[in-house]
Structures are given as structure tokens and as C-alpha cells.
Amino acid sequence: MQEKKTFYITTPIYYPSDNLHIGHAYTTVAADAMARFKRMTGYDVWFLTGSDEHGQKIERSAQEKGQSPRAYVDKIVAGFQHLWRSLNISNDDFIRTTEERHKRAVQKIFQKLYNQGDIYKASYEGWYCTPCETFWTEGRLVDGNCPDCGRPVELLREESYFFKMSKYADRMLKYIEENPDFILPASRRNEMMSFIKSGLEDLCISRTTFDWGIPVPFDPKHVIYVWVDALTNYISALGYGGEDDSLYRKYWPADVHLVGKDIVRFHTIIWPIILMAAGLPLPKQVVGHGWLLLESGKMSKSKGNVVDPLVLIDKYGVDAIRYYLLRELPFGADGYYSEEALVHRINQDLANDFGNLFNRTCAMANKYFGGRLEAPGEPEGPDAELLELVQSTPGKVEELMNRREISNAVAAVIRLAGRANKYLEETAPWALAKDPAKRGRLNTVLYNVAETLRFATVLISPFMPGLPERAWPLLGLEERPDLHTWESLRWGGLPAGTVLKKGKPLFPRIDPATLGEG
Ligand code: ME8
């Protein structure tokens, strides 16, 4: 048997400095949709997420709460895992940077780079932003503040280890130039190329002012500074540097590192240069998505204006929340979160278009045929256009997903429902039902719509994985894994004699007047 092609996708590992908000949920849900889609299209997928547990900020947060860093992160990380289960995330592994397997890999890379002369010790003076855990040179400050978050920085001087990033700048730039799909979208790629061209400085990669980190193997007074530690998770989780590195050999290099635009630079410059220096293959692609903003600005744990995804899941259901997130953020751009927009999306796309099509179809099949649909007759009238759209949609969705345009892919699926609703208007089954001679045609029309719903259910499943088991009974099908496979997407797959059922609406309309309650 031919081996399946592999697909390795990662999310950032999140800081357990506080609970996660809807912005973090976006990244993980988007990665999950890609992972599920690739599994459905026949890939052997490995999907990783995790937590980035070291550093001064975490150490301080734990102190403020009067806890040990370990006890503090354990509790928050348990919350992450609960959130991912609640969001139906299908990750294959969860890496914590406090695990032994991770420490071993980080120390191995550090030692290797040191042995070959790419790491050196020097005294360092710089402007440090504690929330961002980043050193800045004077020239990069904006009005004397951190250029990333705008908060005040402090002047620090210490002995540190440095990584000779500058030595690899030309090679890195060449790699980006020669691999147009390495950084998506193109706007981020251009930003990164200008960043390198403006000159790369060597990178400070150890600290002596706190202890909560992985010690430098040959100089344990120093702990390894966050980014070298954090980025290595993508290979430590695969067993790199350990006794069993079969996953590493199977899945590395990663196909996609999905990250927010705030950390594209770390993933497209620092990380590949570390790998380049260590003689390891570079990831194939880094996708930088936009931010989910509030009217009041960027959601952030430190600003305290966060939206808790668990509350939304409770109120609207996990599929609706996943749908909203995936549909709302256009590829690479920012989007605004508001509960009004969320309710509007659910009502418009899920209740009116998608759910209502199920309702109408099942109701009519029951009214006219006791639910039972036979094989369709020859296509006529508007059938050809509907069939053409339905049959070309899987290919279109796949192409959009391969371009990482999730929102457009989701929209293409919902468009099927919109088109089929229009088809019902065009064919007017209620009029056909009045003429006994047209029962065959009536059956064909309803079959075509039911079959469109079957396609839409399969195609929407990576985005709303809980939907199929609720939808199949309406189409007279019993939940089975082979119902939502790529192979099932052949016109005519809905068996003749299937009995459509009337059920509760899949997505009840939400009364906007209830907003803010609960
Ligand atoms: O940066 N909108 O962790 P982090 C969309 N530990 N996405 C958002 C968002 C928003 N408002 N806010 C956060 C770190 N995110 C490091 C990563 S990786 C080796 C180390 C998402 O907890 C976005 O993907 O601050 C961002 O990159 C990630 O959360 C940062 O999470």
C-alpha cells in the first residue's frame, strides 16, 4: 500500500500567564480546521499545540499569586486543555515546555550551536520590555517605548549568551526569496524581507536575572531565553534529541506553523536561522493571521478586556462559535469581534441559509412522500447549474484551504445552501405537488436538494465537527465514519429510499434582543 503523505501543523504554544481568550481560540480552531481538512483529504496528519511555560513574566505572575511557578502553570495549563476539548480540537499531542523531552532537545541544540562557535558570551546592555520579553536597541524604540506593545522599557545590563544570527542573514533572505510560499500572506513576507534587509543583530539567548527556565547546559547560572526555548517545541514534541525520534523523522519539517501576525518575525527569521545553523530542515510554511480586535483595541490578557470562549460556547454552542471565528477573519487581515456580529452571522448563515434549507427540505419530503425519496430522474431546467456547483465545490474548497484561505473556503460551502434555497424557489416543489403527473419531478427536486445538503454536511465537517452527527438523521442516515470522507463526495451518494426526518432546527434563530444576557 502506498504510504499516505504527511502533514504536520502547529499552533503557537500559548503563555500560561492567564486564561486564554477568543483570539487564542481563533488560532487553534483555524489550525484544527486545517488539520481536519487534511485528514479528510487523505493525509497522515500530526497536529500539535501546547504551552510556553518559562520566563520572567510567568515567574512574576506566580509570585504575585503566592504560588510556585510549577503549581501556577499546572493549573492554567489544565484550563487550556479543557478549553481545547470544549472547542473540539483534534490535536495529536500537547507539548509543555516544562517537560523533560523538551528540555533535552533545547539543551542539545544550544550545546551544538555553542560547540560550533555560533553562540558566544558577551556583556549586554539593552532596553528590555518585560511583557514582550524582548530586548531592543535604542534605535528601535518608539518614543522611548517598546515598538511592539508601546509600554515602557527598562535599561538592563548583564552577561549573556548570544546567537550569531547576523551571520545567517543573507542565507535567510535568499531562502525567503526563493520560496515564495514560505511566508503567507505576501504582505507579511514583504515585511520580513525588509526587516532582514534593515540588518539583523545577534540575538541575546540567555538570562541570569531569573531562574524559571531551562539552564544553559555548561553554565547553569544562565537560563535559556524564551524564544530559543519556545520555538524548539515544534521539534522537541516529535522526539528530536530523544531516544525515539521516529515522529521527528516522519513529520519534520512542518508543513504549516500557524501563528498570529505578532510572532511572524520569530517564526520566519529566528526559528529558521536556528534550524539552519543546527543543520536541520526549515519549516515549509509560516502563515501569519490577523488579530481579532475589539472596538476598544486589541484583546489582551494584560489589558483585561478579554472575551472568554467558554462563556460563548455555553451560550451559542461550539459549532456556531467555530463557524463564526473561521468565517469572520478574512485571510491575513484583522477582524472585529462583537457579540452582535456573532449573532448576526449565526442567524444569517447558519439559521437562515443552512439550517433552514434542512428544515424546508425535510418538511416537504415528509409532507409529500412521508419522508421517503427515490432515485432522481433525468436532470432538467435549473438542475444542471445546481449539480455543477455542488460537484465543483469540493475542489474549490480544497484549493482555498491549500492557499490557507479558510474564511473563503467556509463561505464556499455555505454558498451551496444559498444556491439550493434559490433552486427551491426556481423549481417550486409546492406547485409541483399540486399536479399528480409531476410526482417524479417533485421527487427529483427534493432529492437534488437533499444530496446538496449531504455534500455541504461533509464539506463543513472540518469547520463544525459536531454538525454531521446532528445532520445525518435528518437525511435518514446513520452516523458512520465513512459518511464524511472525501470519497463520499460523488453525486448520487444519498441512497434511493432514504427517509428524511423532521427534527429540531439545527441552528435555532437567536433573538438579538437576548444579547448580553446569560
Ligand atoms: O506569543 N487575535 O504566546 P501568547 C488573534 N508563547 N489571535 C490572537 C490574539 C488576538 N486578539 N491574541 C493572541 C506567545 N492571539 C508565545 C508563542 S510560539 C513558539 C510561542 C494568538 O500566549 C496569536 O496566534 O501570547 C498569537 O500569535 C498567539 O495567540 C500568542 O499567544
Q: Report the distance separating Cα 253 and Cα 258, nearest Å.
A: 14
Query: 449 and 491 in contact (C-beta within 8 Å)?
Result: no
For residue 458, give the CATH number of its domain: 1.10.730.10
12 C-beta closer than 6 A to ligand 1: yes
Question: Which residue lies with its CA nearest to atom 29 of ligand 1?
Answer: 24
| Domain membership flag for residue 285 | no
Q: Which of 10, 21, 26 gets mutated to test ligand 1 (max ligand atoms within 8 A of its CB)?
A: 26
Q: Which of 263, 329, 406 gets mutated to test ligand 1 (max ligand atoms within 8 A of its CB)?
A: 263
262 C-beta closer than 6 A to ligand 1: yes
| Domain membership flag for residue 475 | yes
Crossing angle of helices 383-402/22-40, nearest 10°?
110
Question: Which residue lies with its CA nearest to atom 16 of ligand 1?
Answer: 14
Question: Which residue lies with its CA nearest to atom 18 of ligand 1?
Answer: 12
Grid look-up 461533509 returns 458
| Domain membership flag for residue 330 | no
291 C-beta closer than 6 A to ligand 1: yes
15 C-beta closer than 6 A to ligand 1: yes
pLDDT tens across the length of the chain (518 residues): 568 999 999 999 999 988 899 999 999 999 999 999 999 999 999 999 999 999 988 998 999 999 999 999 999 999 999 999 999 999 999 999 999 999 999 999 999 999 999 999 998 788 988 888 777 888 889 999 999 889 999 998 889 999 999 999 999 999 999 999 999 999 999 999 999 999 999 998 999 988 999 999 999 999 998 889 999 999 999 999 999 999 999 999 999 999 999 999 999 999 999 999 999 999 999 999 999 998 877 776 666 677 899 999 999 999 999 999 999 998 889 999 999 999 999 999 999 999 999 999 999 999 999 999 999 999 999 999 999 999 999 999 999 999 999 999 999 999 999 999 999 999 999 999 999 999 999 999 999 999 999 999 999 999 999 999 999 999 999 988 889 899 999 999 999 999 999 989 999 999 888 776 54
Q: Can you read off the three cell numbers belonging to residue 356? A: 433552514
Degrees to nearest 5, angle at CA 494 with 493 and 496: 115
Kindly give the distance from the C-alpha atom of residue 222 to the centroid of ligand 1, in angstroms, as a whole number: 26
Q: Which of 24, 77, 271, 305 gets mutated to test ligand 1 (max ligand atoms within 8 A of its CB)?
A: 24
263 C-beta closer than 6 A to ligand 1: yes
DSSP state of 226: H
| Domain membership flag for residue 258 | no
485 CB contacts (<8 Å, ≥6 apart)?
40, 458
26 C-beta closer than 6 A to ligand 1: yes
| Domain membership flag for residue 77 | no
User: Where does 69-143 show beta strands of DSSP type E?
Assistant: 93-96, 119-129, 134-136
Question: Which residue lies with its CA nearest to atom 30 of ligand 1?
Answer: 14
Question: Which residue lies with its CA nearest to atom 31 of ligand 1?
Answer: 14
298 C-beta closer than 6 A to ligand 1: yes
| Domain membership flag for residue 411 | yes
Kindly give the distance from the C-alpha atom of residue 137 to the centroid of ligand 1, in angstroms, as a whole number: 24
Number of domains the chain is built from: 1
Degrees to nearest 5, angle at CA 325 with 324 and 329: 110
Q: Can you read off the three cell numbers belonging to residue 442? A: 417533485
Grid look-up 560547540 returns 115
368 C-beta closer than 6 A to ligand 1: no
Q: Can you read off the three cell numbers belonging to residue 77? A: 495549563
Taking residue 219's Cβ as centre, other Cβ atoms within 10 Å add up to 13
Q: Can you read off the three cell numbers belonging to residue 454? A: 449531504
Q: Which of 9, 11, 14 gets mutated to test ligand 1 (max ligand atoms within 8 A of its CB)?
A: 14
CA dihedral 309, 314, 315, 316 (to 10 degrees): 80
H or E stretch covering 469:
helix 467-471
The pTM assigned to this predicted structure is 0.94
Q: Report the distance separating Cα 426 and Cα 443, nearest Å.
A: 15
> What is the structure's pLDDT at 274?
98
Q: Report the distance separating Cα 448 and Cα 373, nearest Å.
A: 10
Burial of 490 (0-12, 13-18, 19+ CB in 10 A): exposed
52 C-beta closer than 6 A to ligand 1: yes
Residue 14: beta bridge partners?
A: 51
| Domain membership flag for residue 308 | no
Torsions phi, psi of 407, nearest 5? -60, -40
Q: Which of 262, 271, 324, 331 gets mutated to test ligand 1 (max ligand atoms within 8 A of its CB)?
A: 262
509 C-beta closer than 6 A to ligand 1: no
Question: Which residue lies with its CA nearest to atom 19 of ligand 1?
Answer: 231
Kindly give the distance from the C-alpha atom of residue 422 to the centroid of ligand 1, in angstroms, as a whole number: 41
Query: 153 and 127 in contact (C-beta within 8 Å)?
Result: yes
Which own/partner pairs from 472-481 qualify as long-range (CB within 8 Å, at least 24 positions apart)? Answer: 473/501, 473/503, 474/358, 474/362, 474/500, 474/501, 474/502, 474/503, 474/506, 475/450, 475/500, 476/371, 476/500, 476/501
18 C-beta closer than 6 A to ligand 1: no
Kindly give the distance from the C-alpha atom of residue 461 to the centroid of ligand 1, in angstroms, as a whole number: 26
27 C-beta closer than 6 A to ligand 1: yes
Positive or negative, the Cα torsion across 25, 31, 34, 35? Answer: negative
Taking residue 101's Cβ as centre, other Cβ atoms within 10 Å add up to 18
The β-bridge relationship of strands 219-224 and 215-216 is antiparallel
Q: Can you read off the three cell numbers belonging to residue 177? A: 526569496
Kindly give the distance from the C-alpha atom of residue 201 to the centroid of ligand 1, in angstroms, as a whole number: 24
Strand order in the sheet with 206-207: 206-207, 219-224, 215-216
Kindly give the distance from the C-alpha atom of residue 186 to the centroid of ligand 1, in angstroms, as a whole number: 20
Per the structure, the complete domain to which residue 449 belongs is given by 339-499
> What is the structure's pLDDT at 299?
74
> What is the structure's pLDDT at 305?
73
> What is the structure's pLDDT at 1?
56
229 C-beta closer than 6 A to ligand 1: no
| Domain membership flag for residue 381 | yes
DSSP state of 433: T
Kindly give the distance from the C-alpha atom of residue 346 to the centroid of ligand 1, in angstroms, as a whole number: 26
Question: Which residue lies with its CA nearest to atom 10 of ligand 1?
Answer: 23
14 C-beta closer than 6 A to ligand 1: yes
